[in-house]
Structure 1
Amino acid sequence: MMPRRQPNVMVFNTNQESEKGRKAQLSNIAAAKAVSDVVRTCLGPRAMLKMILDPMGGIVMTNDGNAILREIDVKHPAAKSMIELSRTQDEEVGDGTTSVAILAGEVMASAELFLERNMHPIVICSAFRRMLDDAVDYMEELSFPIDPNDRPSMMNLIKSCLGTKFSSRWMELMCNLALDAVNTVHLEQDGRTEIDIKRYARVEKIPGGTMEDSRVLSGVMINKDIVHQKMRRRIENPRIILLDCPLEYIKGESKTDIEISGEADFNRILELEDAHVQRLCADLLALKPDIVITEKGCSDLAQHYLMKANVTVIRRLRKTDNNRIARAVGATICHRPEEVKESDVGTGCGLFDIRKIGDDYFSFFVECEAPKAATILLRGASKDVLQEIDRNLQDAMNVARNVVFDPRVVPGGGSIEMALSQALVRKSKSIEGIEQWPYRAAAEALEVIPRTLAQNCGANVIRLMTELRAAHASGDNATMGVNGITGELIDMTTIDIWEPYAVKVQTIKTAVEQATLLLRIDEIVSGLAPQQAGGQQAPQPPAGGPPGGMPMPQ
């Protein structure tokens, strides 16, 4: 009689972990899954919004992953690390903040089964890193080149980004705003490309009007009025001098010794102060400026001299605004009036104008020849709407910026994740040893993106995912994905849904590397001892308890 064949059972011959290390790892996985679940409904064009109450009593309504997670107060250290993940993604590529949190949570969850079966975390991390390297190599093969100067292609790409946002109602307008702003601040200098959106593409949000009133200015707008009502409020082709020093007499400090013996001495001091201010103004007026802008103060006497010379003055400007004006009009910010030269005067502005919008006065430096700095004027119903549109616009500008630096795109709608998943699952069969199983689990974790898209649009998830796997089984239909609006299977090239290659690579790299980092933690130790009232340190617990008053992982 032949013996019965035993079924295949995964047996991992590794060293047993301590129970303490297992608890820390499972606790980290639970925290990562919890953070991931918070933003899971915020993915795709049918995404829901979250309403968050901040500590100051304000309200944030958004579906942007980074904006949501940075407002959440968590105690668990692994959850804090997951929140940092989203912030890092936002700073690096500006988009994909929701996807990276969801994917990191799913990759972490895929390791739970192997930890329970006593597989060593180092083996799991090694398999994850191997999967990551293969995924990046395969994604390069699936990428398509794109011309950053082809406006229709760039518009389609930005529409794909904005299709999942609140501002998708004004899709055409928002795409034009983002693309115009990026093209304005695009600077080619000394063989290098610079697109500094945060510093030179400022968004001014003014409640009121309609969204259609929004536009990109070919120059700079600042929330400042002139210092004297008799100064000119509209100047064509002005000569502009920028300063970061005060136009007033600076009083001496406490160590200054002045001996006054009579009324004539006091008058002499005042005359010296007036002469100093007059000399400052004379140095400026020698260059025949139309506008003088300073980051510091401007005394009444300086205003008088400059107003008599028909010069307009704006004072107490922020450093960031002064830098943008300097770049827009071609001026140089000077530190002393006597050092200003003719080459420091800005002449690139076509029109200076002061207009009243709502209750505030704004100074416009527009019609610049080569601004290289832009102001995006956003109008809308309320501050909450404008804040959300601002966040969406920042994502759109970052997408356009990423493509300039890396002109490659991949199909969206979860198609690239499913294509990677199926290709890596096929490759896992050729891997020898126990690393095959975590490699395969991490590859299958990539399916969380198309699955979440299907869930959020109300589709039949099991049927749709089965059809999608079947479409990608041969490896030839890498562009088949989920239509996030209708919940149907569709070729992404037919509806022009694309995503920047840089964003997708950064998303997968960040998520997998975060998972490998958290899985290597075998103990959570508190470095702070609890303090008693009065500032004294709490007594140490008896032997056998947690050291140093260490709280157990939440």
Structure 2
Amino acid sequence: MNQPVIVMNTNMDRETGRKAQTSNITAAKTVADIIRTCLGPRSMLKMLLDPMGGVVLTNDGNAILREVEVAHPAAKSMIELARTQDEEVGDGTTSVIILAGEVLAQAMPYLERNIHPIVIIAAFKQALEDALEIIEQISVPVNVQDPEEMFKLVKTSIGTKFVSRWSDLMCNLALDAVRCVAVEVDGRREVDIKRYARVEKIPGGQIEDSMVLDGVMLNKDVTHPKMRRRIENPRIVLLDCPLEYKKGESQTNIEVTKEADWARILQIEEEQIKAMCDKIIELKPDLVFTEKGVSDLAQHYFVKAGISAIRRVRKTDNNRIARAVGATIVNRVDDLKESDVGTACGLFAVEKIGDEYFSFLTGCKNPKACTVILRGPSKDILNEIERNLQDAMCVARNVYFNPRLAPGGGATEMAISIGLMEKSKTLEGAILWPYKAVAEAMEVIPRTLIANCGGNAIKTLTTLRAKHAAGEHSWGIDGHAGKIVDMKDYGIWEPNAVKTQTIKTAIESACLLLRVDDIVSGVSGKQAQQQRAAAGGEAGEQEGGEGMQPEM
């Protein structure tokens, strides 16, 4: 095996010590500046172009950073933060980048004064522990069974997005979907929105026509025109095997010398398919779903028996149907039993929307899977609505797991800033200054909220600081007007999990980047150019659809 060799020579692209740290901080700040204007309800949209000519309009931090192409390793590490935040809690992707960029920027003056990075990191770690305590102190418990409280909470996550004009509708969709898929497993609550709450986008119609089905919808039609397209209280069988003649393996070789033998081979095929269909018909189902194909002969037998069949259903859709109608997916027709039949569905209907046929399984009794149907004028708008709805569903899911809320609108960050400033009075030595730097960095969120809606940052922040110093921790920024308001009255709350994760991720990644004191390129200048050219050619072939964005 060839081991990778790091070639070190005088021409090599290398940054060490202070230069490396400065370079990392600059890159991190550049990434933060890209999406700084995407925070709050008055946020601006970014237009992303890709080489295929596609255009994405969004203010979702994670969606923007997924498309941006950067060369600097520290910038790549910052983009990874947004992805981590999105996978972990589904919200706060913009905040985490802005906060991490600001924490690093605040560390810069102390590096220039020759305070060792390890001392700065120790101060940051201590500030993080104290910040998490402050969040716990100012957060309040929430009753997940109270629809009004949950509604207000989800409205917060949607308020800054494109869909805020339809926020009531979107909040209800998100809450209904999360309530539907929430189940208790071994005394533990499980909310798997990725697997069991599918979002189907159908261009056309009004956004107000969007809804959560009490069941499942598929983009499929029945396989035969004579099959029933509307069945009330259907008995449903789910299969994971083909209803076709089972051919021999690829090496099978048959020589036919007599016509009678050929006729017998065809007869065996028919007998095999008939035996499979008889086995299914014995259970008297009304609907058969299979993930594989259904032969013409099988369709003929089903039509005679009054059974509707739908073929080539996706595995994920089949799992959702199984959970919604109470059926079991069977791998062999011979194993079918009465207990495998699903009977919890109220109505099966095939409807034509636009040019396509959709199968609806609705009226399910206590379904644990659902489909969210989004309607809207164009694909671009539907994609943006889906991104916003995913955020809202993640917020609702987080509160199910950790039912505590922290005040929004920059109130939590300001409370942390004031709290850390107070605690810094008890510290001594070099650790004091970087500790205070975290307190100052926390103010970036309320400051950005004021700046994005055109308010007076200095005046408003001073007033807000005074409120928090007096112990009124629920005061924050009204993102529409740029004034300070009490979040208890204004009704803007965020899940504790999102706030905690944002601050943890931001400060820990800042510590990680400060630890880097050497950036070594693994090849010499000439080799690097050759490799880059080769990699560029391969990358161009493989990922034609990647974003064409600014390089750091």
TM-score, scaled relative to structure 1? 0.92
Matching residue within 170, 175, 195 for 1:174: 170
Residue from 155, 160, 172 that aligns with 2:151: 155
Tell me the matched-pair count: 521
**C-alpha separation between the residues in 1 aligned to 2:501 and 2:529?**
42
Please tell me the residue identity of whatever aligns with 1:371: P
Quote the Cα distance in structure 1 between the aligned partners of 2:41 and 2:102.
Answer: 21
Structure 1 residues 31-430: aligned runs within 5 Å: 31-430=27-426
- Distance (whole Å) between structure 2 residues aligned to residue 136 and residue 200 of structure 1: 33
Q: After TM superposition, give the deviation of residue 250 of structure 1 in Å.
A: 3.1
Q: Distance in 1 between matches of 2:490 and 2:300?
A: 63
User: What corresponds to 1:514 in structure 2?
Assistant: 509
2:475 corresponds, among 477, 480, 504, to 480
**1:61, 1:163 → 2: CA distance?**
17
Q: 2:528 aligns with which of 519, 530, 554?
A: 530
CA distance in 2, matches of 1:164, 1:91: 20
The equivalent of 1:547 in structure 2 is none
Q: CA deviation digits over 1:20-44, x for unaligned, max 9?
A: 1221111111111011011100000
Unaligned runs of 5+ in 1: 1-17, 538-552
Distance 1:119 1:480 in 2: 35
Q: Percent identity?
A: 64
What SS does the corresponding residue of 1:524 show, helix, strand or coil? strand
1:402-439 deviations in whole A, cap 9, x for unaligned?
A: 11111100111101100110110111121122111111
- TM-superposition CA deviations, 1:285-320 (whole Å, max 9, x none): 111111110111111111111111111000011111
CA distance in 1, matches of 2:158, 2:31: 24
Are residue 26 (structure 1) and residue 34 (structure 2) matched? no
Counterpart CA distance in 1 for 2:232 and 2:100 is: 55
**Match for 1:500 among 446, 470, 495?**
495
Q: 1:358 to 1:423 in 2, by over 3 A?
A: same
Amino acid aligned to 1:512:
I
Distance 1:536 1:69 in 2: 25
Report what 1:449 is aligned to: 445
Deviation at 1:533, TM superposition (A): 8.9
Q: What is the CA–CA distance in structure 2 between the aligned matches of 1:369 and 1:122, rounded to whole Å?
A: 59
Question: How far apart, CA to CA, are the structure 1 residues paired with 2:290 and 2:50?
Answer: 36
Structure 1 residue identity aligned to 2:58: T
Match of 2:8 in 1: none
TM-score, length of structure 2 as denominator length: 0.92
Query: In structure 2, what is the equivalent of residue 546 of structure 1?
Result: none
AA aligned opposite 2:507: V
Q: Aligned AA for 1:86?
A: A
Contact 2:241 2:292 survives alignment (8 Å): yes
Q: Structure 2 counterpart of 1:223, which letter?
A: N
CA shift for structure 1 position 525:
2.5
Q: Which amino acid aligns with 2:484?
A: L
Partner residue in 1 for 2:543? none
* Shift in CA distance, 76/276, structure 1 to aligned 2, threshold 3 Å: same
Matches of 2:191 and 2:370 in 1, distance apart? 12
* Alpha-carbon offset, residue 531 of structure 1: 6.8
- After superposition, residues 12-23 of structure 1 pair within 5 angstroms as 20-23=16-19
SS in 2 for 1:271: helix
2-structure distance, mates of 1:533, 1:130:
43
Tell me the distance in 2 between the aligned counterparts of 1:97 and 1:342.
48
- Counterpart residue identity of residue 508, structure 1: I
Match of 2:9?
Answer: none
Distance 1:100 1:55 in 2: 29
CA gap 1:281/1:527 in 2 versus in 1, 3 angstroms: farther
CA contact (8 A) 2:15 2:519 kept: no
Structure 1 residues 418 and 225, CA gap change in structure 2 (3 angstroms) = same
Q: Residues of 1 paired with 2:127 and 2:534: CA distance?
A: 51
Identify the range of structure 1 (137-146 vs 425-434) with the bigger mean alpha-carbon deviation.
425-434
Task: State the SS of the aligned residue for 1:326.
Answer: helix
Tell me the residue number matched to 1:491: 486
Deviation at 1:530, TM superposition (A): 3.1
Partner of 2:542: none
Matches of 2:397 and 2:240, distance apart in 1: 31
> Structure 2 CA distance, aligned partners of 1:38 and 1:289?
57
> Post-superposition shift, 1:251?
2.4
Residue type matched to 1:82 in 2?
Answer: M
Q: Secondary structure at the match of 2:349?
A: strand
